[in-house]
Structure 1
């Protein structure tokens, strides 16, 4: 359920914002146009927004600036503390993509950036089913995450990172649960969503799934 990665984020909390800013050469392309990616998610969002994987609150800041009502879900205590310092009044709950406290109000948009890959494809299936029960017709799921066009694209990217000597990133690509567009398309359609994909950088795609 993604919680096997909590220790990573506990350690990453203090340097996460440095990484996404592009100072780490190995991950620079992963986070290329990071602000634009956050903006794309926020622009596609409306109403009461449920954000999974709040982290240090970077997407949260953009959502709040747009005037949206946000409830955040974050499994890492260190990350929650960072976000709470920035947004003391934010409704921020301990939870993950599949297990979180009961919400007090209806949700119109579910969002996340750089986090859905922490679920296996089977867990993604279960999570999307759960969200289909939470959302009404025309409500949305808006995720931005590293996704591959197909299996060939996944293999080519791993070979490219190996050739560059980016072994930490290569290990991430090989051990975390990055999936492909055909898999996600099938899962969203299975649970009653019409989904569209738009590539935002060499790694990240925006997926906007509207409930039928």
Structure 2
């Protein structure tokens, strides 16, 4: 359920904001246009919204600024405490992309840099669950690293290795990055329409609407 990566989240807790601001050269391309990516997600959310993987709260802050009724969900204790400290008056709960406190009439489900922590089978399980918890014509809006095909994925790994970006290469090998055709099939099979929009060399906007 993505919780096998808790040790990675522990490591990221104190350095994540430095990375997203471009200070970690290995991840500079991954987080290129970071603020615009978060805006792409937040601006499309409507109504009662769940954010998965609140982390240090950067997307959560934008959702609040759009005056949305937001529930935050975060599986990592260190990240959870950071978010709660930043937003003491907001509802931020322990949970993950599949195991989370259910709420009535959710209109939007959002996340950034999170969905790749699920295997393809878990992604299928997640979207089937989202179909059930979302309101009529509810939507899922994720910004995440996905690839056009497996060869593109392997090329990015080779490029990272050639540049000496060992941490990035390790992440690309270890976590569950999928391809657009596979994810499109998963999402449509669960009862959604979906559109993809590339936001940088790594990250795509995944905008699914319930049929």
TM-score by length of 2: 0.98
The alpha carbon displacement at 1:163 in A equals 1.4
Q: Which moved more, 1:110-119 or 1:147-156?
A: 147-156
Contact 2:37 2:199 in 1 (8 A): yes
The alpha carbon displacement at 1:60 in A equals 0.2
* 1:200 to 2:199 alignment: yes
* 1:63 to 2:63 alignment: yes
Q: Distance in 1 between matches of 2:20 and 2:193?
A: 30
Partner of 1:143: 142
The alpha carbon displacement at 1:137 in A equals 2.9
Per-residue CA deviations over 1:18-75 (Å, capped at 9, x if unaligned) read 1111100000000001000000001111101100000010000000001111001001
Per-residue CA deviations over 1:123-181 (Å, capped at 9, x if unaligned) read 00101100011113321000000000111111111111111111110010011000000
Structure 1 stretches of 5 or more lacking a match? none
Q: Distance in 2 between matches of 1:35 and 1:194?
A: 26
Q: Distance in 1 between matches of 2:43 and 2:206?
A: 13
* 1:8 to 2:8 alignment: yes
Q: Distance in 2 between matches of 1:92 and 1:110?
A: 14
The alpha carbon displacement at 1:100 in A equals 1.2
Counterpart secondary structure, 2:22: coil
Counterpart secondary structure, 1:137: strand
Q: Distance in 2 between matches of 1:94 and 1:6?
A: 13
* 1:117 to 2:111 alignment: no
Contact 2:29 2:202 in 1 (8 A): yes
Partner of 1:52: 52
Structure 2 stretches of 5 or more lacking a match? none
| Runs of 4+ residues deviating >6 angstroms | none
TM-score by length of 1: 0.97
Contact 2:105 2:135 in 1 (8 A): no
CA RMSD, aligned part only?
Answer: 0.8
Q: Which moved more, 1:129-138 or 1:106-115?
A: 129-138
The count of aligned residue pairs is 211
